[in-house]
Structure 1
C-alpha cells in the first residue's frame, strides 16, 4: 500500500470543486461563503409584519372619505406654537450674505 502524494490530493480536490461548483480553498482562509450562501432574511421579515395603514395614506387612497388625522393636527399646532415662541426652524439663506457662516468669519 503506497501513500498518495499530497500534490495529487490537491489536484483531486481542485477537480472535485470544479465539478460540484464549490469554492476551492486549500489554505482554509475565511471567505464568508457560508453567509453568502445563506437564504436572505429580508423578504420573509417583510412578509411577517402586517402592513399598517395610516390615516394620511387612507385619505390619499379615498379622498371622499373625510377622516381627521389627530396626530398630524397636533403636530401642526405644536409647530405653530414653537414658531410663536421663536423656537421654529431658522430661515433658509437666499444669498451668501445672509448665511450664518459668512457672518461668523467676518
Structure 2
C-alpha cells in the first residue's frame, strides 16, 4: 500500500471546501462557523408566541366601534394630575431667548 503525499491531501481538502462551500481551516482554529451556519432561532420564536392585540391600533382602524383604551386614558389622567400639582414636564422654549441655558449664562 502506497502512502499519500501530504500536499495531495491538502489540495484535496481545499478542493472539497470549494465544492461544498465550507471554510478551509487546515490548522483547526476556532472560527465560529458552526454557529454561523446554524438556523436562526428568531423566526421560530416569533411564530411560537401569539400576536399581541393593540387596542390603540384597533381603535384607529375601526373608529365606528368607539373602543376606549383604558390604560391610555389612565395615563392621560395621571399626566393631568401631575400638571395640576406643578410636577409636569417643563414648557418648550419658543425661541433661543426663552431657553434656560441662555438665562443661566448671563
TM-score normalised by L of structure 1: 0.82
2:64 partner SS: coil
| Structure 1 unpaired stretches of 5+ | none
Per-residue CA distance 1:7-53 (angstroms, 9 max, x = gap): 22211110111122211111223222112211111211111111122
- Normalising to structure 2: TM-score of the pair? 0.82
Q: Secondary structure at the match of 2:24?
A: coil
In structure 1, the residue matched to 2:15 is 15
| Residues 1:63 and 2:67 aligned together | no
Instruction: Supply the distance in 2 between the matched residues of 1:30 and 1:18 (Cα, whole angstroms).
Output: 19
Deviates more, 1:93-102 or 1:54-63: 93-102
Q: Which moved more, 1:89-98 or 1:40-49?
A: 89-98
Which of the two has greater helix per residue? 2
Q: Report the CA distance between 1:2 and its aligned residue.
A: 4.6
Question: Could you list the runs of 5+ residues in structure 2 that have no partner in the other structure?
Answer: none
Task: Name the CA distance, whole Å, in 1 between partners of 2:44 and 2:86.
Answer: 47
Q: CA 1:54–1:20 in 2, change beyond 3 Å: closer, same or farther?
A: closer
Match of 1:26 in 2: 26
1:66-96 alpha-carbon deviations (Å, 9 max, x no partner): 2222211111110001111111112222333
Coordinate RMSD, CA, aligned: 2.0
